[in-house]
Amino acid sequence: MKTNLNKVELIGFAGMNAEVKEIKKGVKVANFRLATSDGYKNKAGEWVNSTTWHNIVLWNDSAEKAAAEVKKGSRISLTGKISYRNYENKAGEKRNTVEIVANSFEILA
């Protein structure tokens, strides 16, 4: 039997404080954006930095922990999985989003 794996490991900086909502009784979700950076040399030999922003989602106990610990500028290590989601906005337009659903995270010094 072949095994498939959807696993993401990121280290970056929080772009905002974690926002937590209770979506139904006892179910909490936290969201924040995480910036990761990478660099490369262009054709002219100059170093170019590239930043990628990731939408991070945490549920329940992890959401509560994020609310207390994730602050803008925090350096964070996390593991999770990539999730593709479709939704309809308030104007009735269909949208797609890519999120990292984290199952654990740690604030780095």
Evaluate if residue 4 carries a pLDDT over 90: no
In the chain, domain spans: 8-108
How many Cα atoms sit within 13 Å of 44 on the Cβ side?
3
Arithmetic mean of pLDDT, 11-26? 95
The model's confidence at residue 3, banded by pLDDT at 50, 70 and 90, is: confident
Tell me the CATH number of domain 8-108, given options 2.40.50.100, 2.40.50.140, 3.40.50.180, 2.70.98.60: 2.40.50.140
Evaluate if residue 47 carries a pLDDT over 80: yes
Q: In angstroms, rounded to a whole number, what is the distance separating the alpha carbons of residues 4 and 84?
A: 16
Mean pLDDT, all residues of the chain: 95
Evaluate if residue 109 carries a pLDDT over 90: no
Could you give the percent of the chain with pLDDT greater than 90? 92
pLDDT reported for residue 32: 98
pLDDT reported for residue 70: 97
Q: In angstroms, rounded to a whole number, what is the distance separating the alpha carbons of residues 92 and 6?
A: 31
Q: In angstroms, rounded to a whole number, what is the distance separating the alpha carbons of residues 72 and 69?
A: 10
pTM: 0.87
Arithmetic mean of pLDDT, 59-67? 96
